[in-house]
A = this chain, B = another copy of it.
Amino acid sequence: MIPLRFLDDVMRLKVVPRSGWISYRISKHDIESVSSHSYSVAVIALTLSEMARQRTRGVDIERVLKMALLHDLSESLTFDISKAYLRYLGRRGSQLKTRLERKAISRILSGLENERLVRAFRTTIEEYSSSKSLEARIVHSADALDLLLQIIEYERMGYSKTTLDPIWNETKSKLVGYRFTLADEWLRELERVRRGLHIKTRGRKSGSVLLRT
């Protein structure tokens, strides 16, 4: 009855590190788990959705949250395949990644031992992958926004802006690509916050708006 194999895979996400950060010289001890990341994505997506609803109605929050919770589930088996990795494989790298993740998802979902639930979860993941629906674009935007917020956190800890610049710029481009207005507005403000961290003028008050302690 209890889907032990599936739960085993879900629990492992607590200890699977987001290894991509290694390439940006984040200490392995400060690298978040996939679970931690997915949690932030879900809360950001929830907030974006509620705000979008206030403007325009018509966001299906149940679908948004399901996608946010399941979007990185495959990493329980694939362990966050290095992005650098895919880069040197060129176009085929992306295809390969997609294929590997699909296989991993099938394997993980089979652990549910509940055919209707497998179909439901697979549908959710496929909606996310196709990046078309408003709901999917909200989750993709939340995924990128969490990355940008995390970069700001790392820079507040003292990690090097120079080392993190490439991932900031790449993520910014992706975010713009999702064409979700609210996220664009947030992005502009995050850029301002990040600039504020690195301006060192004599006499500046220490409290940036985000630096509430």
A176: interface (CB < 8 Å) = no
- Nearest CB of B to A91, in Å: 13
Chain A stretch 1-44: residues in CB contact (< 8 A) with chain B? 1-8, 10-17, 19, 22-30, 32-33, 35-40, 42-44
A35 touches which of B35, B103, B157 (Cβ 8 Å): B35
A123 CA to B10 CA, complexed, in Å: 28
A167: interface (CB < 8 Å) = yes
Q: Flag if B2 contacts A117 (CB, 8 Å).
A: no
**Which residue from chain B places its CB closest to the CB of A159 in the assembled complex?**
B158
Chain A stretch 139-158: residues in CB contact (< 8 A) with chain B? 149-150, 153, 155-158
Binary flags per residue of A76-104, CB closer than 8 Å to B gives 1, else 0: 01111110110011000000000010011
7 A-B residue pairs with Cβ-Cβ distance under 8 Å, sorted by A, are: A2-B189, A2-B190, A8-B210, A13-B39, A35-B35, A46-B69, A65-B69
Q: Which residues of A contact B (CB under 8 A)?
A: 1-8, 10-17, 19, 22-30, 32-33, 35-40, 42-44, 46-47, 50-51, 54, 61-62, 65-66, 69-70, 77-82, 84-85, 88-89, 100, 103-104, 107, 112, 114, 116-117, 120, 149-150, 153, 155-160, 162-163, 165-167, 169, 185-186, 189-190, 193, 197, 200, 206-213
